[in-house]
């Protein structure tokens, strides 16, 4: 018998979560379409009646590039902030399409691409001159995106449409639209995308179908591999042999044999598995359990859980590693903190206060600084968010940069 997720106690608990960003306010959490779009409408009215969209309105003149830049999507201000990585100063506030929700950089760092959720477009930003150089029309509701291993194409996942757009980055045109299922009911959708290291496949956790889609990057043929209930995020071993899919409702991780496209096993986790990352050393997988405020760690080969769940902060939606895999960084959006976990001892060694609603974090190239985007409140009365800058030698906050409304996804670039 088909399960009615909307009426389950588990979904009711998700709806009661603190009002932090699960994936932006645009429907990755299991919630009704009516409430989701009503929130967007209310916010839009607030903006139209005088709430400032941007401190600058137009991009400022770019300053000389010396230390790299952090680009942050301001989802409710329809803009991208370019922040000097060394000083923390806002170099420009760049107008883009409506509700930029995701951002990804080119391999040489000279361009970033934003998925504009409500205007069905992708903006191309010159990261040196800080201007939009192209706007690419795409199917409605673009979100997660990634660039192919060879750097030639951008794959964009479209929420609720159950398609993936493929953009030729030489011409800034859509060259393929890949169907990955029948458009689902509100609140269920395809999420996330990652490429296998050899570039052969794009993997898309399909929240609506309880599968992970393997998209052949040459033929665009799609193969479905079953997962647990409502898969949310995917991570892949550095050697490309296995992929791991966090099942948000299934409270588990599905391990997939990439070559055979078969399930290799299932790892039980905590309540609401979401953020997932593979240690660069290839010896650990970390997954955040949103409703428990914990992290589960397991061996990617044996699938054995390596320790009791690590207690961090509330609503940890996202997790990353530093370059050598010695540390894992979890953003606790419900506690306004970032947790630093020692991966050898599997203990929290630092808890760093941030501003309201930290979600994404990114290092600079030499890993001397960590930048955390703080969304601020997502319901009226709205307030601008910020970027917290953390010194990784001391793990202390050395700066906070005010941004626009709902800073969300971010990336660091140092153009070559």
Question: What is the C-alpha separation between 164 and 384, in angstroms, rounded?
Answer: 32
Q: What would the mean pLDDT of 80-102 be, rounded to a whole number?
A: 98
Q: What pLDDT was estimated at residue 1?
A: 36
DSSP string, 384-398: EEEEEEEETTTTEEE
The pLDDT of residue 160 = 81
Confidence of residue 220 (pLDDT cuts 50, 70, 90): very high
The answer to which of 42-56, 69-83, 84-98, 299-313 has the lowest mean pLDDT is: 42-56
Predicted confidence at residue 183, as pLDDT, reads 74
Question: What φ, ψ does residue 262 adopt, rounded to 5°?
Answer: -135, 160
According to DSSP, the β-strands at 407-413 and 396-405 are unpaired
> Dihedral of CA 248/343/146/405: which sign?
positive
Is residue 125 within 8 Å of 114, Cβ to Cβ? yes
Question: Buried b / exposed e across 306-332, counting CB within 10 Å, b at 16+?
Answer: eeebbebbbbbbbbbbbeebebbbbbb
β-partners of residue 70 are 83, 412
Contact assessment for residue 10 and residue 29, using Cβ atoms and an 8 Å cutoff:
no
């Amino acid at each position: 018998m088909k399960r009615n997720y909307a009426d389950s106690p588990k979904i009711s608990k998700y709806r009661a979560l603190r009002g932090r960003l699960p994936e932006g306010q645009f429907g990755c959490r299991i919630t009704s379409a009516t409430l989701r779009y009503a929130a967007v409408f209310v916010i839009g009215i607030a903006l139209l009646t005088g709430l400032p969209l941007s401190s600058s309105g137009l991009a400022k003149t770019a300053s000389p590039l010396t230390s790299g830049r952090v680009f942050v999507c301001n989802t409710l201000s329809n803009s991208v902030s370019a922040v000097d990585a060394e000083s923390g100063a806002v170099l420009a506030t760049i107008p883009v399409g409506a509700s930029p929700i995701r951002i990804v950089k080119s391999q040489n760092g000279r361009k970033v691409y934003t998925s504009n959720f409500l205007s069905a477009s992708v903006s191309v930003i010159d990261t040196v001159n800080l201007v939009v150089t192209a706007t690419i029309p795409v199917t409605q509701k673009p979100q997660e995106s990634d660039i192919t291993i060879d750097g030639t194409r951008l794959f964009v996942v479209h929420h609720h449409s159950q398609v993936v757009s493929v953009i030729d980055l030489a011409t800034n045109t859509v060259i393929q639209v890949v169907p990955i299922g029948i458009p689902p009911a509100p609140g269920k959708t395809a999420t996330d995308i990652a490429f296998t290291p050899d570039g052969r496949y794009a993997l898309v956790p399909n929240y609506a179908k309880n599968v992970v889609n393997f998209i052949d990057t040459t033929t665009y043929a799609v193969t479905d591999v079953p997962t647990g209930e409502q898969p949310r995020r995917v991570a892949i071993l550095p050697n490309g042999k296995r992929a791991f899919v966090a099942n948000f409702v299934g409270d588990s991780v599905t391990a997939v044999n990439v070559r055979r496209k078969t399930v290799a096993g299932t790892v039980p986790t905590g309540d609401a598995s979401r953020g997932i990352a593979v240690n660069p050393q290839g010896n650990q997988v970390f997954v955040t359990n949103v409703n428990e405020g914990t992290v589960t760690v397991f061996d990617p080969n044996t699938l054995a859980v390596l320790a009791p769940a690590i207690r961090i902060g509330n609503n940890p939606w996202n997790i990353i590693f530093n370059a050598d895999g010695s540390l894992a960084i979890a953003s606790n959006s419900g506690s306004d903190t970032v947790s630093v976990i020692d991966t050898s001892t599997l203990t929290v060694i630092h808890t760093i206060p941030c501003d309201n609603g930290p979600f994404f974090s990114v290092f600079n190239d030499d890993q001397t600084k960590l930048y955390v985007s703080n969304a601020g409140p997502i319901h009226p009365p709205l307030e601008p968010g910020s970027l917290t800058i953390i010194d990784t030698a001391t793990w202390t906050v050395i700066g906070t940069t005010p941004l626009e409304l709902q800073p969300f996804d971010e990336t660091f670039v140092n153009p070559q």
